[in-house]
């Protein structure tokens, strides 16, 4: 018979673990995030449920908690509230609670993120969505995240972990194309190009992708898989880019991958996806017209690879746990004087969201972009720099890195190259939204992620990504050097 966990005495330096999830699928009509310019996307068909998932690990007197939500964004008021509640219930440091969004563009968000909180916009229940989220849903999803974490922490049992990696190419593509005139374009999926010659205006793709599939399995001593941390890197926009599913609710490829893992390892397993630095990565193949975006296909491919990885994993009970949290000051980019003058005029003459007799709402895109630029100025007035929070967890041989916003994949690859940690798995969209973090070279080129007219999602100064990478590498070195000195695995 399998050994009962209640009969096992776990030494202080050996691992205990728990994982849990709560459904956070929105009610019909809830605003689905992921689209800017004040567009309203009332939730329609539910293609698959959304979840808040949590894993708590404890060893050597240390405890860490990872919470991932199938939403677009989690803003800092919600992150802070979740941390406080979880740390109080589980008697652990709030700095050891990591909260991230998978960034599926077919789900709501927790907290307003499209405009600065100080922007003078009076909203009604009909226009609340313009700022990116609706409070009723945020409050509901945050409470479910708290309950998932508490359940994970109060149901911990002796466990063992193992980790490994595989490679799955052909699923994600760099989404910044260099056109033949030198400008930046976002290539459409090839199957949408009505020209047998292909995207002839596209000269080449600007940067790389990251094909790594990371797997950390957490297994009870009787062999039952309690949960997995799964790492891959791609914008979850398979459904967002399709008019037929534009208002559908889905966890996109992270949800499809999780569903396949559940079918393989059973309902007791809680698969948790850590979506990497995908600021410039999409699932849209710009060259192969036979490869339309398909979240289910991605889920099957990733599950097949993660299964191969698990088969090669060696599990261990002796696991070193530790964490670090530091804030890095990042400068805002300068707004050209001509743009500031235009913004002043547009906001003075514009009227903002307009509610029509039929209840629909329209937002002038020009007004919205001006409000977005003004939001950057308001943030700068509140503080001359943005305090960017970096979290690093050490779980055995793995460094889990929580990075806010949408860093470009080059930053992630820099962290993985010549690292002090055998495995480095960043999870973007952590704790608060700060917009994109492009490379210095991409920043100079502009494009959606680095607009020279300066929007709330492209507000950070040149070199911000490189600054974050430097600080994060130092934190990883510190964690793993201490682990080596202590003789832990």
pLDDT digits (tens, 9 = 90+) for 58-82: 999 999 999 999 999 999 999 999 9
- Residue 12: the pLDDT is 59
Query: Following CA atoms 40, 133, 260, 189 in sequence, which dihedral angle do they give, to the nearest 10 degrees?
Result: 40
Distances (CA, A) of 460 to 360, 407, 438, 440: 34, 11, 9, 11
Distances (CA, A) of 248 to 28, 38, 109, 234, 251: 10, 18, 15, 19, 10
**Element (DSSP H or E) covering residue 215:** strand 212-220
**Which residue, chain included where needed, has tokens 């798995």?**
425
Strand partners, 52: 22, 69
- Report angle CA 298, 268, 223 to the nearest 5 degrees: 100
Q: What is d(CA 130, CA 72) in angstroms, rounded to the nearest whole number?
A: 15
What is the tens place of the pLDDT at every residue in 367-382?
999 999 999 999 999 9
- Report angle CA 200, 206, 209 to the nearest 5 degrees: 115
Banded pLDDT at 219 (limits 50, 70, 90): very high
- How many residues are listed for the chain in this entry? 489
Banded pLDDT at 13 (limits 50, 70, 90): confident
Question: Average pLDDT, stretch 27-56?
Answer: 95
Q: What is d(CA 289, CA 190) in angstroms, rounded to the nearest whole number?
A: 4
DSSP, residue by residue, 338-349: HHHHHHHHHHHH
Task: Quote the pTM value.
Answer: 0.95
Banded pLDDT at 484 (limits 50, 70, 90): low
In sequence order, the 6+-apart residues with CB closer than 8 A to the CB of 91 are none
- From 1-10, 66-75, 218-227, the region with the lowest mean pLDDT: 1-10
**What are the DSSP E strand ranges found in 396-431?**
398-403, 406-407, 423-428
Spell out the long-range contacts of 94-97 with Cβ–Cβ below 8 A and sequence spacing 24 or more. 95/323, 95/325, 95/391, 96/62, 96/63, 96/64, 96/65, 96/323, 96/393, 97/64, 97/65, 97/67, 97/149
For residue 236, give both structure tokens. Answer: 């979850």
- Residue 173: the pLDDT is 98
What is the tens place of the pLDDT at every residue in 120-140?
999 999 999 999 999 999 999
- Residue 241: the pLDDT is 85
Q: Torsions phi, psi of 75, nearest 5?
A: -90, 165
Percent of the chain residues topping a pLDDT of 90 = 92
For residue 146, give both structure tokens. Answer: 């708290």
**Element (DSSP H or E) covering residue 304:** helix 295-312
Distances (CA, A) of 85 to 23, 110, 124, 156, 353: 19, 16, 29, 18, 36
Strands 97-101 and 62-69 turn out to be parallel
């Amino acid at each position: 018979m399998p050994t009962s966990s209640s009969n096992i005495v776990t030494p202080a330096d050996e691992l205990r673990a728990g994982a849990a999830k709560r459904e956070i699928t929105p009610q019909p009509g809830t605003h689905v995030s992921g689209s800017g310019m004040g567009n309203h996307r009332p939730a329609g068909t539910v293609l698959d449920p959304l979840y808040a998932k949590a894993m708590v690990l404890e060893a050597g007197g240390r405890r860490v908690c990872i919470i991932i939500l199938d939403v677009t964004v989690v803003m800092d008021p919600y992150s802070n509230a979740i941390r406080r509640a979880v740390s109080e219930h589980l008697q652990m440091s709030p700095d050891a609670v990591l909260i991230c969004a998978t960034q599926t563009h077919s789900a709501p968000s927790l907290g307003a993120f499209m405009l600065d909180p100080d922007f003078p916009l009076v909203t009604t229940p009909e226009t609340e969505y313009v700022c990116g989220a609706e409070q009723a849903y945020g409050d509901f999803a945050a409470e479910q995240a708290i309950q998932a974490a508490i359940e994970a922490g109060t149901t911990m049992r002796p466990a063992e972990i193992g980790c490994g990696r595989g490679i799955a190419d052909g699923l994600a593509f760099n989404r910044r194309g260099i056109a033949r005139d030198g400008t930046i374009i976002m290539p459409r999926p090839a199957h949408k190009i009505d020209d047998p010659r292909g995207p002839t205006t596209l000269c080449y793709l600007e940067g790389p992708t990251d094909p790594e599939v990371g797997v950390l399995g957490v297994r009870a001593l009787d062999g039952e898989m309690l949960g997995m941390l799964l790492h891959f890197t791609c914008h979850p926009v398979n459904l967002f880019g399709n008019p037929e599913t534009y208002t559908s609710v889905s966890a996109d490829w992270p949800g499809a991958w999780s569903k396949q893992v559940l079918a393989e390892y059973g309902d007791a397993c809680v698969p948790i996806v850590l979506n990497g630095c995908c600021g410039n990565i999409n699932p849209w193949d710009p060259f192969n017209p036979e490869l339309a975006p398909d979240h289910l296909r991605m889920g099957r491919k990733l599950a097949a690879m993660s299964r191969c990885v698990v088969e090669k994993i060696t599990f261990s009970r002796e696991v070193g746990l530790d964490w670090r949290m530091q804030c890095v000051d990042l400068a805002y980019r300068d707004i050209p004087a001509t743009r500031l003058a235009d913004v002043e005029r547009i906001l003075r003459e514009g009227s903002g969201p307009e509610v029509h007799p039929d209840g629909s709402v329209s937002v002038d895109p020009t007004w919205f972009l001006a409000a977005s630029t003004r939001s950057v100025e308001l943030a700068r007035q509140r503080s001359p720099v943005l305090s960017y929070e970096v979290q690093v967890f050490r779980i055995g041989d793995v460094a889990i890195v929580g990075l806010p916003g949408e860093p470009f994949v080059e930053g992630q690859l820099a962290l993985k190259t010549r690292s002090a940690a055998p495995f480095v798995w960043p999870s973007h969209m952590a704790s608060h939204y700060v917009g994109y973090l492009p490379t210095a070279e991409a920043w100079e080129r502009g494009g959606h992620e680095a607009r020279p007219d300066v929007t709330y999602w492209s507000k950070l100064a040149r070199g911000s990504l490189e600054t974050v990478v430097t600080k994060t590498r130092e934190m990883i070195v510190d964690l793993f050097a201490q682990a080596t000195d202590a003789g832990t695995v």
